Structure 1
Amino acid sequence: MDQPDVQAGAGPLQPGVDESAAVIHVDRLGLKGSARLTATRRHLLSAVTHGTVVTLAQVEVGAKTNETTHFRPLLAPLDLTGTVVTFDALHSVKANISWLVETKKAHYIAVIKTNQPTAHRQLAALPWRDIPVQHTASGTGHGRRESRSIKTCGIADELGGIAFPHARLAIRVHRRRKQTGTRETRESVYAVTSLDAHQAGPADLAAAIRGHWGVENSSHHIRDVTFAEDASTVHAGTAPRAMATLRNLAIGVLKTLGADNIAKTTRAIRDEPQRALPILGITNDPDTYGT
């Protein structure tokens, strides 16, 4: 199995120093331009921080490969002590969750969807009507208005025979969304976490789940729109993965340095390449020449 690409300085994370950096999202992304008539597109499984978006590690997974087998190799090189890892139902595998908590000393928030019908049904059956809303948030943008409310419920280590190792809280997020010119839609999303109520309040859990969904906008969107990843026709050998690593590195460095608009920043560097020198640790001080 290929070793994951790990960004320099990726660990350890320091919970409490930057709360957004203490939450990591595990996600799969297909590289559309890498497909050929004789080969399907390449897929990468990545570990990406919430908030300040930095790709800590990535590994290539085959189109027909069960990507859950890459979960541990992806995260193994990282120091995850005290961090929170978020992932979809696909990675809610008992062995992986146990390893994450017991070996890596991390917490998790596992989003449970209908592709896990038993767990989803049991979570939906909890007495949510009797539990008051514990946190709400709303926002507008891109012609859309959205509001979200969250409820949590304490659960045992096992949920109705479906094992969620170290599970402490069940979570229900109710979303109401209204796109301009369309009818309002409503959706309830369920999750399970190893965090206790005293470790993370409803607002913290809501932010982590929202960040889990937001990675696509803050990372994937930048890679595609700003760096034209989907249009890239690089396909030979490990080149697609290497190019994705370089894009991740560029985004991570610029985000860490405080760039809010990656497209604007990259255009500025393109027009004035000397702007890249400080980012690379190169000073443009004539007094240092010849010394």
Structure 2
Amino acid sequence: MQMLRISRCNTTVILDIYTPSGAAGTFLRCRIELDSRHRDLFGHQRLAHQTANHQSSALAILAMMLLLAVCGWIVGGAAGMQRALMESAPRPDGTVITRENMYRWFGARLLSHVEVPDLFAILTKVCSRAGLVRLPELYCLPAPGDMNAYALGRPERSAIVLTEGLLRGMTRQEIAGILAHEVAHIRNNDAWTMSWATALRRAIDWTSLAGLTLLRTRHHHGGMTSSRPLATLLSAAPTLGHLLGLALSRVRELDADATALELTGDSRALVAALEKLERHHTGAAPMRASAVAHDPMRLLRSHPATSERVGTLLNLAY
């Protein structure tokens, strides 16, 4: 008797499995039907999630630019607005990733393929799926009591730093998920995006301070008696810029999670890695999603709550 039978009907693939029931001559039949349209639905869902993340990122950057433009206009009119925006324009990254610099900056040492061939095999597979033409360099930070990972650079030249505690405390599948998350940051050029946001935030700080100084000087000389609303806006601008930068960081983290899921297809390992990191850093299991949703402190975090990240991954995976 044929124990496994695969057939196809239009867009549906049918898998029939026959297993012995324990009684002579009788079998249990299990049928699994997979509609290829469901796979398309999963793809559309991930694409919609990615599109929403990119739109949120663009809105955060545009809001920071608008805030900076208003502060510049208060300081010097149209010319002040133009000058403020030009000074905050993203500049080429002058950071040079070398073995010497990585050791000087972080105390991290370069890992070789001979030393950890399994890690490089994982990294090669992930980067191939991500479309990176150059593998990031792998560095180990000698911190046995810490579990963390960092990505630096752009797709053309990049590095990933893994702490010793992470390499010891994670399974290979979990490390694959972590590597995929960091590779996603590199492929999405998040370091450049966040450096631009940092430049915008600093420009907002300086321009708002200059505007407040100018308003106080004019007020001292008896001019602009109705400048209180402008002063209020200028006083709040640094805080607003900081909150927008944090919101952008959270969006980029969620997008990196979703990209990591596409690169590995292993939601269980990703979730396990996130929960293990949460327990390591907080000493407790992740909070419930409902509790996090009503926590105003979430706006002050650079990363989404672990429960939110896990929920997003599970929604995309299933």
TM-score grouping bracket, smaller chain normalisation: under 0.3
More strand by share: 1
TM-score after normalising by structure 1: 0.25
Structure with the higher helix share, 1 or 2:
2
Q: State the TM-score, normalized to the length of structure 2.
A: 0.23
Bigger Cα Rg: 2
